[in-house]
């Protein structure tokens, strides 16, 4: 049952996730009132711009922050830029939402974990409390995102953090991994994809539906002040994901060849293991996201999430 009575302000509304939220909310069965805020409306690194864009925010409203500095490699050199968006930006937002009594839902990432492969007992995936203070995120991107989480909860303990991972929309023209694999299939006889990084592939429309469910239910004790993990269920390597993309579009998955991370060195180290468990999401009474393979099939077919989460 929808309990939200105010508006849902979506920052980063023109980005990958923000667009998906708007599209899912625009379905005929959605009753959520979405107010999109793009970079034209709000510069998250500028406190006055944030305050001006949210000037009429009320205690009944929710702010869903989908803005992030996501250039993982670029952040290794552009420390100040990453900090301005991933740390200062959430700080500006939470000060306004706290002052107005509104609820902030802030999107974060699997990169807050070190990426060290876990023990076999932990193979189901990380839970929010699994961060070991002795292990720090391995990238500037991960460190700034973790600091952003901390500044949000420190300034307003009733806010909610939602971590996700390996986000894609999957359209043939999209710039994400799935879209890239679809284009490469038409351009090359074979492709090499790393098989020693394991994570949680997540269809942006499925995550968007989950976030709309979260916002729609309101700031209950089950979610206020919580860090939740929301990804499609299961786990895969990038190689396994690429092979499944080929399968879904009717191509021979044997054309995808496994390789190692060492074969494709990047400025920022990638997590070897960053699977996020869905146990915290389910424990909060929210609908678990479906298996990643099923979701990928829907993404390739251009279908929305089949579940009404609003």
DSSP string for 245-297: HHHHTT--GGGEEEE-GGGS--SSPPPSB--B-SHHHHHTTPPPPPBHHHHHH
Q: Is 141 annotated in the active site?
A: yes
Query: Cα separation of 102 and 89, whole Å?
Result: 17
- For residue 2, the model assigns a pLDDT of 46
Query: Cα separation of 246 and 182, whole Å?
Result: 7
Q: 69, 111, 141, 168: which is the annotated catalytic residue?
A: 141
**pLDDT tens series, the chain, 310 aa:** 445 678 999 999 999 999 999 999 998 555 679 999 999 999 999 999 999 999 999 999 999 999 999 999 999 999 999 999 999 999 999 999 999 999 999 999 999 998 887 665 556 789 898 887 767 899 999 999 999 999 999 999 999 999 999 999 999 889 999 999 999 999 999 999 999 999 999 999 999 999 999 999 999 999 999 999 999 999 999 999 999 999 999 999 999 999 999 999 999 999 999 999 999 999 999 999 999 999 999 999 987 766 554 4
- Choose among 69, 211, 198: nearest CA to 143: 69
CATH T-level assignment (fold) for domain 7-167+202-233+275-292: Rossmann fold (3.40.50)
- Choose among 165, 152, 145, 117: nearest CA to 276: 165
- Domain-by-domain residue ranges, the chain? 7-167+202-233+275-292
Query: Cα separation of 287 and 278, whole Å?
Result: 10
Query: Cα separation of 83 and 147, whole Å?
Result: 9
Specify the residue for token string 């986000």: 167
């Amino acid at each position: 049952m929808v309990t939200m009575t105010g508006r849902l302000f979506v920052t980063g509304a023109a980005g990958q996730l923000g667009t998906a939220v708007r599209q899912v909310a625009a379905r005929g069965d959605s009753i959520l009132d979405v107010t999109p805020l793009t970079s034209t409306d709000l510069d998250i690194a500028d406190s006055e711009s944030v305050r001006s864009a949210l000037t009429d925010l009320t205690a009944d409203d929710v702010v869903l922050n989908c803005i992030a500095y996501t250039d993982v490699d670029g952040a290794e050199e552009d420390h100040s830029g990453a900090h301005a968006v991933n740390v200062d930006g959430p700080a500006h937002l939470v000060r306004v939402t706290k002052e107005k009594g509104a609820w902030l839902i802030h999107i974060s990432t699997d990169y807050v974990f070190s990426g060290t492969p876990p023990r076999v007992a932990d193979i189901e995936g990380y839970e929010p409390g699994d961060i070991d203070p002795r292990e720090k995120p391995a990238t500037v991107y991960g460190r700034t995102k973790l600091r952003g989480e901390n500044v949000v909860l420190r300034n307003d303990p009733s806010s909610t953090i939602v971590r996700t991972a390996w986000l894609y929309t999957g359209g043939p023209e999209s710039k994400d991994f799935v879209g890239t694999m679809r284009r490469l299939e038409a351009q090359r006889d074979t492709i090499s994809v790393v098989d020693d990084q394991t994570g949680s592939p997540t269809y942006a429309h499925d995550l968007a539906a989950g976030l709309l469910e979260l916002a729609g239910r309101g700031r209950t004790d089950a979610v206020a002040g919580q860090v939740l993990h929301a990804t499609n269920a299961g786990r895969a390597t990038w190689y396994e994901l690429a092979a499944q993309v080929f399968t879904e579009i009717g191509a021979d998955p044997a054309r995808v060849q496994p390789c190692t991370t060492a074969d494709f060195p990047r400025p920022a180290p990638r997590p070897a293991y960053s699977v996020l468990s869905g146990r915290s999401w389910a424990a909060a009474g929210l609908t678990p996201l479906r298996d990643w393979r099923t979701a990928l099939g829907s993404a390739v077919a251009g279908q929305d999430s089949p579940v009404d989460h609003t």
